[in-house]
């Protein structure tokens, strides 16, 4: 069975690519209009939570690193 679009010429790849890129940005813009953006106080609170969690994680990594450094030094000096 023949294609329905047998007489139409296929578009140049760059034209298809540009159309797809334009379609991507148009759809992205439409989706961004649907987003419920946080207000200033919510954004500040969320930022503070992230900063505190990052600081606690850094402190925990530092403590583990210090402990393991001390233990390996002690182990090598002991044996």
What single DSSP character describes residue 10? P
Asked if residue 4 belongs to a domain, the reply is no
* Residue 7, pLDDT score: 53
Number of domains comprising the chain: 1
* Residue 8, pLDDT score: 61
Distance CA 76, CA 55 (A): 31
pLDDT in tens, the chain (79 residues): 455 555 567 778 889 999 999 999 999 999 999 999 999 999 999 999 999 999 999 999 999 999 999 999 998 888 7
Asked if residue 7 belongs to a domain, the reply is no
Cα radius of gyration rounded to whole Å, the chain: 29
Alpha helices in the chain (DSSP H): 13-34, 40-78
Asked if residue 1 belongs to a domain, the reply is no
* Residue 78, pLDDT score: 81
């Amino acid at each position: 069975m023949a294609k329905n679009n047998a007489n139409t010429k296929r578009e140049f790849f760059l034209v298809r690519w540009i159309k797809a890129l334009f379609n991507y940005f148009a759809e992205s813009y439409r989706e961004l209009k649907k987003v419920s953006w946080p207000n200033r106080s919510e954004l500040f609170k969320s930022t503070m939570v992230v900063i505190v969690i990052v600081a606690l994680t850094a402190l925990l990594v530092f403590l583990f690193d210090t402990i393991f450094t001390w233990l390996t030094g002690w182990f090598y000096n002991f044996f």
